């Protein structure tokens, strides 16, 4: 009986590790990324009056808009 209990525990532990590994590798889709970034931009008080467009394709995010002057950040 002890052998079966130890084996059962090992199998459960293995499945738990695999489940955590799979959950960590799942990347958010493009619409989720766009929404998260737009939300962060809207929270920044210095950007409220700025027109910044967020586009996401294949996990690559592109921000577009206009700037005033040629000041470097």
In the structure, what pLDDT confidence band is assigned to residue 1 with cuts at 50, 70 and 90?
Answer: very low
Q: What whole-number distance in Å separates Cα of residue 29 and Cα of residue 61? A: 11
Full-model pTM:
0.56
Instruction: Give the total residue count for the chain.
Output: 73
Domain spans of the chain?
2-64
pLDDT tens sequence across 33-73: 999 999 988 888 887 788 889 999 988 999 998 877 766 65
31: CB partners within 8 A, 6+ apart: 56
């Amino acid at each position: 009986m002890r052998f079966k209990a130890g084996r059962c525990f090992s199998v459960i532990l293995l499945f738990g590790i695999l489940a955590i590994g799979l959950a960590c590798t799942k990347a958010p889709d493009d619409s989720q990324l766009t929404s998260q970034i737009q939300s962060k931009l809207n929270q920044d008080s210095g950007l409220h009056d700025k027109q910044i467009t967020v586009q996401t394709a294949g996990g690559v995010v592109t921000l577009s808009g206009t700037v005033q002057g040629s000041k470097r950040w």
